[in-house]
Structure 1
Amino acid sequence: MKKQMRLNALDMNCVGCCPGLWLHPEDQTTRYNTLEYWTELAQLLERGLFDALFIADIFGIYDVYGGNADAAFRNAVEFPVNDPFLLVPAMALVTKHLSFGITGTPTYEPPYSFARRLSTLDHLTNGRFAWNIVTGYMDSAARAFGQDKQIPHDERYELANEFMQVVYKLWEGSWEDGAVLRDKANRIFARPDKIHKVRHQGKYFRTDAYHICEPSPQRTPVLFQAGASSKGRQFAAKHAECVFISGPTRKIAAGTASDVRKQAARLGRDPGSLVIFAGIGAVVGKTDAEAQAKLADYHKYVSIEGSLSLFSGYTGIDFSKYDLDMPLEYVEIDAIQTIMEEFTKADPTRRWTLREVALHLSGGKSALAGSPATIADELIGWMDETGVDGFNLHYMVSPGDLVDFVDMVVPELQRRGVYKTSYEEGTLREKLYGKGRRYLPDDHPAANYRYGQSLFE
């Protein structure tokens, strides 16, 4: 049997994902603050048998470019941005199988209340929930939470590792299997002897509490991770079940995927159990020429200023001061380290200019464009050459790009035998790994925090 392609749709709870494309007459992302926009999107993705809707998120404002946030405000660069968690119940209500991967940041969340929120969503979706773990990268977010500046890059991952210990204890160890009886005849909802207090006192977090939610369908939601720096890869290799990588070329994506799997193996995990998604866009037409014409039309709306505002925020470097046609040079940064490495070090045969980076980040140069057969060829080629398992698919114009993909590319992938024709039953983890795999496996570090294990404290 051919390897089956996994697909998520990538979005944010804001006006568009590609700077400037919200101006396109067919784009509907200005409806982002209505429930109807999201329920319609969820139903479209379920029609296309997508595994999940993956929603990115930030807490800060892109205020590095030009020394202020004006460019972000003018161009709606991931601003304004609403809370993605609140969308999930509405989308779950109008779907049966589509799952939801939502971004949450340990740097700015208390683990006790965060664990309750995710358990609640796993209950309400009947186990169709995943958490994308990020550590943040913006000084503006740190200032919003009362800090002078963000915690240094590597220390953010140290904090996140301790955060994981706390939520694992709450999700995996506070309630034993069989604790919940719902026994009306004997007037017992839950057995006190099977519910345990979690005690944790560490460098960053302290708690002394029972998990306030009964075990959800997956206990711990499916774990995504999207950091690709050295520390990010180490974190993914230890904790993640699904890894979201973003490489501008197949060569870079292949190196990242291989490295994460090797690190997971060294930690005693099955490297094949990591489901790796590459970020990619697709503009589809009935013919290659039609798709290229559509992409050329999109290019008219791209905002270079908006893209550079985004890139400045990613790196912490004010690119308003630089020539657009200068080749980028690597510098050490305390924000998204990997993005600088990808454009300056990962492929020594390629020198990126600032203009090229801006067009790439807008989607104008990173999106595939072609007929259904051409797009299918490209996606299968990416999987064959990089070892990834699927894609986080982003649009340039919503919902049109996703409608075209569902209506034209999905049938082509199914015809080639590389994409499912129906959903598996069960939770998201069972859909990914098979019936009966609703909980994390024993080789995952969370297993050490189940009640009765040596690391449960």
Structure 2
Amino acid sequence: MPELKKLHVNLFEMNCVSHIVHGLWHLEGNNRHRFNDIEYWTEVAQLCEHGAFDAIFLADVVGAYDRFRNGPQTALIEGLQIPNNDPLLVVPAMAAVTKNLGFGVTFSTTYEPPFAFARRMSTLDHLTKGRIGWNIVTSYLKNAAENFGHADEVAHDHRYEIADEYLDVLYKLWEGSWDDDAVIQDRENRVYTDPSKVRYIHHKGEHFRVAGPHLSQPSRQRTPVLFQATGSPAGMEFAGRHAEVVFTGGLSTEAVRRNIANMRARAAAHGRDPASIRFIVQAGVIAGRSDLEVTAKVERYRRNLSVQGRLAHSQSAIDYLAFPREARVADIAATDHRWNHQIDRSRPDQTVGDVIDHLSGFNEDRFFVAGTPTVIADEIERWLDIDGIDGINLRQYHSFDTARDFIELVVPELRSRGRYRESYADGETLRERLFGGGRARLPAEHFGTRYRDPARLAEPAEPLRFGTPQDANAA
């Protein structure tokens, strides 16, 4: 009998007060306001390690959500990803109090040069002993572009063209600049590194000129595990070449399976094993010991969800809260062209109240379950076996109750079904945890490994081209 697929779990975090669930930070016992304290991060890391989570996954933005109500005031009131701090800097503190927990960090390829970032990630890979991953993003907020000297967002597909060359530079530094045996630590002859085994990369591309050599010696993974969230054609093409873990979703089983199949086909087209990608979804899990307890938690969270926070996060140009609940969206759209894209053509009588009620609920996507451990485990098994996903980014409604409930209630039930690891394999890298087989580094067929042959450093890579730039707000 084949071994049952086990669930991969990351705790979805951000170095801020309000990440993706808005209005709940003020609840009694919630620790979100402590994000500036190093103890917050060491405590959450130890909790996740106790629960044998794969990793803590840290989101990030480099701009403010300032479209709603024509400014950042709502985001500031809600603590909506502002204030926020650098996600990379909390990793060493968490790594110091854990032994096996992994870490995924978000960093954008659009606004900061690759050479310095390559050293930061190699440093983290060294300090964590190979427990680091990178969530590749290209940054979509207009304010982010303005913070780095641009008048407006860089066009969507062009951002991916920049990112493709960015990765090419990183692979040359991480995979090609140093040989595995360059560091010899010869005390007798007082030679730390054999200079014949370290080289410049001499990258000269359309967007970057980087001489090298890489400043860090090879780390356990060399290239961190490569995560990416995408849904656009350009993003999927980029992921087909680069991503090892893809964040996906869909409103139905068919849609999720179709997205996974499309992504595997893109990987195969780039010469990769289509089975070598793991698929993760953002999931909401609210667990309780009884139906009554579950209902009480859901109602408590629902009462405190912030509609204006969700509108600000969605960069809505329309303030639904400024209109009467009974007003029909179609009628308002007839007087204001900005509303045209808001109309649900299948619901001509939809009211402002309908929209607000939807925003006040938990109908975020299909990967949500509230229930007792058996109910939750049943649903997770369906996600694994029917939808075909590999794991979840666990959305936090309450820090640390969400993670603690999952660990204390759901994990034992999943373990009893053979769906969750009993313990870590000590000393494994994050890549080995996700893919097994002692695979600490990129697989041989991955695009980035071409530079393991020093002769190929001077060989120009064929750039990905994505056609006509698309809407700047696409994923």
Using the size of structure 1 for normalisation, the TM-score is: 0.90
- Residue 4 of structure 1, CA deviation: 1.2
Counterpart of 2:406, as a letter, is: F
- For the 8 Å contact 2:100–2:131, the answer to whether it is kept is yes
Which deviates more from structure 2 when the two are superposed, residues 436-445 or residues 127-136?
A: 436-445
Q: How does 1:221-240 map to 2 (within 5 A)?
A: 221-240=224-243
Aligned to 2:336: none
Counterpart of 1:429, as a letter, is: R
Consecutive unaligned residues of structure 1, counting only runs of 5 or more, are 328-339
Query: Cα gap change, 1:252/1:326 in structure 2, threshold over 3 Å: closer, same or farther?
Result: farther
Which deviates more from structure 2 when the two are superposed, residues 47-56 or residues 266-275?
A: 266-275
Aligned to 2:438: 436
Q: Are 1:242 and 2:242 counterparts?
A: no
Aligned to 2:319: 320
Which of 14, 31, 38 aligns to 1:12? It is 14
Equivalent residue pairs, number:
437
Aligned to 2:395: 394
- For the 8 Å contact 2:9–2:54, the answer to whether it is kept is yes
Aligned to 2:73: 70
Counterpart of 1:400, as a letter, is: D
Counterpart of 1:451, as a letter, is: D
Which of 448, 451, 456 aligns to 1:449? It is 451
Consecutive unaligned residues of structure 2, counting only runs of 5 or more, are 331-340, 460-475
- For the 8 Å contact 2:107–2:135, the answer to whether it is kept is yes
- For the 8 Å contact 2:282–2:367, the answer to whether it is kept is no
Deviation string, structure 1 residues 204-238 (Cα, Å, up to 9, x no partner)? 11111200000111000111011221211111121
CA distance in 1, matches of 2:395, 2:389: 16
- Residue 386 of structure 1, CA deviation: 1.6
Aligned to 1:50: 53
Q: How does 1:15-414 map to 2 (within 5 A)?
A: 15-17=17-19, 18-312=21-315, 317-320=316-319, 326=329, 354-355=355-356, 358-359=359-360, 367-414=368-415
Using the size of structure 2 for normalisation, the TM-score is: 0.87
Say which one has the larger Rg.
2
Please state whether the residue corresponding to 2:454 is helix, strand or coil. coil
Percent of aligned positions with the same letter in both sequences? Answer: 43
- For the 8 Å contact 2:126–2:220, the answer to whether it is kept is yes
- The RMSD of aligned alpha carbons is 2.4
- Residue 319 of structure 1, CA deviation: 2.4
Query: Cα gap change, 1:165/1:114 in structure 2, threshold over 3 Å: closer, same or farther?
Result: same
CA distance in 1, matches of 2:102, 2:173: 23
CA distance in 2, matches of 1:189, 1:429: 28
- Residue 7 of structure 1, CA deviation: 0.8
Counterpart of 2:441, as a letter, is: Y
CA distance in 2, matches of 1:59, 1:427: 29
Deviation string, structure 1 residues 160-214 (Cα, Å, up to 9, x no partner)? 0000000000000000121110111121111111101011111111111200000
CA distance in 2, matches of 1:207, 1:417: 48
- For the 8 Å contact 2:142–2:153, the answer to whether it is kept is yes
CA distance in 1, matches of 2:314, 2:358: 8
- Residue 436 of structure 1, CA deviation: 2.8
Query: Cα gap change, 1:105/1:58 in structure 2, threshold over 3 Å: closer, same or farther?
Result: same
Please state whether the residue corresponding to 2:133 is helix, strand or coil. strand
Which deviates more from structure 2 when the two are superposed, residues 220-229 or residues 241-250?
A: 241-250
CA distance in 2, matches of 1:149, 1:233: 24
CA distance in 1, matches of 2:291, 2:363: 21
Q: How does 1:408-427 map to 2 (within 5 A)?
A: 408-425=409-426, 426-427=428-429
Counterpart of 2:127, as a letter, is: L
CA distance in 1, matches of 2:138, 2:33: 28
CA distance in 1, matches of 2:438, 2:344: 45
- For the 8 Å contact 1:299–1:364, the answer to whether it is kept is no
- Residue 51 of structure 1, CA deviation: 0.4
- Residue 455 of structure 1, CA deviation: 5.1
- For the 8 Å contact 2:251–2:366, the answer to whether it is kept is no
Which deviates more from structure 2 when the two are superposed, residues 295-304 or residues 429-438?
A: 429-438
Deviation string, structure 1 residues 341-400 (Cα, Å, up to 9, x no partner)? 9x989x99xx99643663468969964210011111111111222211111111111111
- For the 8 Å contact 2:66–2:73, the answer to whether it is kept is yes
CA distance in 2, matches of 1:70, 1:147: 22
CA distance in 1, matches of 2:258, 2:29: 37
CA distance in 1, matches of 2:104, 2:183: 27
- For the 8 Å contact 2:175–2:451, the answer to whether it is kept is yes
CA distance in 2, matches of 1:380, 1:89: 34
Counterpart of 2:356, as a letter, is: R
- For the 8 Å contact 1:269–1:443, the answer to whether it is kept is yes
- For the 8 Å contact 1:131–1:224, the answer to whether it is kept is yes
Query: Cα gap change, 1:326/1:381 in structure 2, threshold over 3 Å: closer, same or farther?
Result: farther
Deviation string, structure 1 residues 88-147 (Cα, Å, up to 9, x no partner)? 000000000000000000012210000000000000000000000001110000001111
- Residue 302 of structure 1, CA deviation: 0.6
